[in-house]
């Protein structure tokens, strides 16, 4: 009888824990995640655009936490472009704006230039955009290696367009 009572109490406690756990789980916030397949498509499209324009670059796509989802360095792209593309993608997602916006803002308001030193992954050069789908930021894309920010941006926009992400105007 004692074993039956202990089993019944144990079963009731497990049931209560499951109900309590379900309540907590249902209250957790839900966030969209950038699928690996979409990240790879964005990288491929950005690389293709830069190749078409005659530039050898690196392209990186990061998730909302700044972790790399996909990255490629084109044949002939400088070794430094790997780091710059990742840092631009990281900056765009962490700051929630295109990187060119901050590059221009620092020029207009020099006393805020310290934001470029917030951490080692920040890079305030044009060529990075948040990846925003249906108004929600799910990652960042960065291109490095074309001869100028506007050219990097054009390639990054091609990557955004390929996955149906929101597009940005310069300095947005």
Give the per-residue pLDDT at 168.
82
Give the per-residue pLDDT at 126.
97
Q: Which CATH number fits domain 36-162: 3.40.190.10, 3.40.220.10, 3.30.450.150, 3.40.50.11890?
A: 3.30.450.150
Whole-structure pTM value: 0.84
Angle between helices 149-162 and 36-52 (to 10 degrees): 140
Q: How many CA atoms lie within 13 A of 111 on its CB side?
A: 0
Domain spans in the chain, listed from the N-terminal domain onward? 1-30, 36-162
Nearest 10 degrees: Cα torsion 158, 102, 73, 41:
-30
Tens of pLDDT, residue by residue over 3-15, are 656 555 655 555 6
Tell me, what DSSP letter sits at residue 148? S
Tens of pLDDT, residue by residue over 53-108, are 999 999 999 999 999 999 999 999 999 999 999 999 999 999 999 999 999 999 99
Helix/strand/coil for 51: helix
Give the per-residue pLDDT at 166.
93
Label residues 25-37 b or e (16+ Cβ within 10 Å = b): eeeeeeeeebeee
Pick from 116, 69, 72: nearest CA to 91: 116
């Amino acid at each position: 009888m004692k074993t039956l009572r202990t089993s019944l109490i144990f079963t009731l406690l497990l049931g209560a824990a499951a109900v309590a756990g379900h309540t907590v789980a249902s209250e957790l916030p839900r966030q969209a995640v950038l699928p690996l397949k979409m990240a790879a498509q964005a990288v491929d499209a950005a690389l293709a655009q830069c190749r078409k324009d005659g530039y050898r670059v690196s392209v990186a796509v990061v998730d909302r936490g700044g972790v790399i989802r996909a990255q490629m360095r084109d044949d002939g792209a400088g070794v430094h472009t790997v780091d710059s593309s990742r840092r631009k993608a990281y900056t765009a997602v962490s700051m929630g704006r295109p990187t060119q916006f901050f590059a221009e803002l620092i020029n207009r308001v020099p006393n805020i230039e310290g934001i470029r030193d917030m951490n080692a992954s920040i890079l305030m050069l044009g060529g990075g955009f948040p990846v925003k789908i249906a108004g929600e930021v799910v990652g960042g894309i960065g291109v490095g290696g074309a001869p100028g920010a506007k050219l990097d941006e054009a390639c990054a926009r091609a990557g955004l367009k390929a996955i149906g992400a929101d597009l940005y105007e310069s300095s947005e």
